[in-house]
Amino acid sequence: MVKLYFTEDHEWISLDGDLATVGITNHAQEQLGDLVFVELPEVGSTVKKGDSVAVVESVKAASDVFSPVDGTISEVNDALSDDPALVNQKAEKEGWLWKMKISDASQLDSLMDEAGYIAMIG
């Protein structure tokens, strides 16, 4: 079963076993506007919770995307190089940014579930 978590910085992370998929929330992409560029992390790099791992750039602003947990980047969404607007169209599905093998599952306990995130963005 895939479990979904959210951060206060508007990232989502879905967990399937110890493999996590990370992206920005639909709310975040709406605030940013049309994305024109996405800078993705290096596959194989090790990241810590809170590290800036990717950058999404819109016509309005550039924003860092932070890692919700510690882990190692195992895959990036290469489709975004050609079509960054995928994030605008399907932020919480095909618009994912990277996949990672998480190293400390207990860090998920500090994240919000969907109801908590919806309450936060009000």
- The token duo for 96 is 């994912």
Q: Extract the residue ranges of the chain whose pLDDT is less than 50.
A: none
Q: What is the pLDDT of residue 1?
A: 66
The parent domain of residue 96 ranges over 3-121
Q: Which stretches of 33-107 are DSSP H helices?
A: 79-82, 86-89
pLDDT of 94 = 95
Q: Are the C-beta atoms of 5 and 112 separated by less than 8 Å?
A: yes
Give, in order, the Cα–Cα distances in Å from 9 to each of 61, 81, 83. Answer: 15, 23, 23
Lookup result for tokens 């090790």 = 46
27: domain CATH number? Answer: 2.40.50.100
Q: Which two tokens stand for residue 61?
A: 């602003």
Domain count, the chain: 1
What pTM was estimated for this model as a whole?
0.96
